[in-house]
Structure 1
Amino acid sequence: MKNLIIAFFAALIAILITYGVLVLIGIDKTVATSISTVILSGVPFIHQTLVKNEDNKTKAHVHQFVSIERYTFEFKIVLVYAFLLSIAAINFPSALGGVLSGIAGPGIESVGLMLGVIGLFITYPLFFFIGRWIGIKTSSNGVVVIVLAVFLSRTATSIFDFYVLSPDEYEKIFGFAPTFFAALGQSLSGTFFLSAAALIGYWRGRKRQLAAYMGYLMSQVHPDVRNTIIELAFEEAENWKKSTK
């Protein structure tokens, strides 16, 4: 948990610095916030790097393979990862849309359409890959992780939009007035559709978990040993096939 806290605060510092620089050079505060928030997606990488460095020190540089149980993450860790990745994925369209809008200068009236297009072609694929990663890196309760992470991230983003955007900006971007029920509907509908994309990815990830773990093992051994393992696996598969006839 200590390493996770360190990773989070490292990302938070990077977010504050990025936000300050963007505002300083004249970027709209809302766009700067969206761009900065994407940095949260780096927390899992920072955390895992810290964990690996700590493991290397405690094991005195003795190489050890990770079992498939340790290859996957525990529930609370993957939930935090999924939540942060979801926050970043949800904010990515706003960040990209703000940048493109600033370059093209089309005015805020077209931002809503731009966000919709970006969401369709980028956000949903991002959630597919988040779900796929969860399917590979969890041993159980992956569906719960996805639904919880998407709901919490979508709700947090809706609350942020509700309180930070002005009524005019909110209506021009989302197409409706900023009311409690509108924000609630946005949160629930977003949770449904984004969860659907993530669950499709999760299904694919579960099918690839064993292959991903074998890929990890193969990457840790010498090429000669790798070829031997493949040959043995092939022979076992052939023997099994003959025994089932």
Structure 2
Amino acid sequence: MEFLKCEVLNEILPTGLPYGYLVLINGDIGMGKTLLVKIIAKSAIQRGDSVLYVAFDDDPAAIMEDLGTNNVFIIDGFNLSDRYRVKNPNIVDYITDLEPSQFIGKINNAVQGRSIKVLVVDSLNDLIVNVEPRALLILLKQLKALSRRYGLLTLTVAHTTTEDVSNLMSNLEYVFDGVIEMEFDENMANLGIPIRRMRIKRMRGIAHSLNWFYFTTSRGNIVPVDVNEVRNMLKSVLESMGVQLK
């Protein structure tokens, strides 16, 4: 099995992400999911892989600014109207209808002949809110089959901000080969310290840590945080103010 190593995941997934896998990255808005998939995509580009990015949430121009234009191909689902489409050699196709068969068909066509190794779908939410659960299940299974057929590492993002979306994705998690969760650390958030964390909830057949990886974001990167050090610093500050902690 071939793996894509990504430095930011080394602590919790030392083997790297397996090609041929369908991976879900979920969490609330603002947790760093898009940043994570872009970091993984950059790792792939640096090793010479080509990336196909299905852009629903982000303008293709912003994606090219972040990833560059070498070995990057985009299916534009951000600009659904013909009126706003931008012609660019990196944009290989356009989503014109939020319909599962068109979505799968355009990915299948774009992958052929381009040596694509990493597929990013950011995000699934446009499809989640526009198709019934059964159709979404079929779409995900077709996406998994494509990943196997072409040896793609497929990274799908889901914003589980609402309870409906969160429950739906929980019910569909079994379809994915791997699930990465991202969230705020509630204890730190209650103290006004916005520290995020992520974990590998599941990665089929691959050894991985079950521990949370704590981080913050800075200048387009994910930066590890020693949460115990933060707690000790906070304790020292509070004690210097006369607040005694048990």
Structure with the greater relative contact order (CA < 8 A, sep ≥ 6): 1 or 2? Answer: 2
Identify the structure with the greater strand proportion: 2
TM superposition score normalised by structure 1: 0.25
Q: Decide which structure has the larger Cα Rg and report it.
A: 1
Identify the structure with the greater helix proportion: 1
TM superposition score normalised by structure 2: 0.25
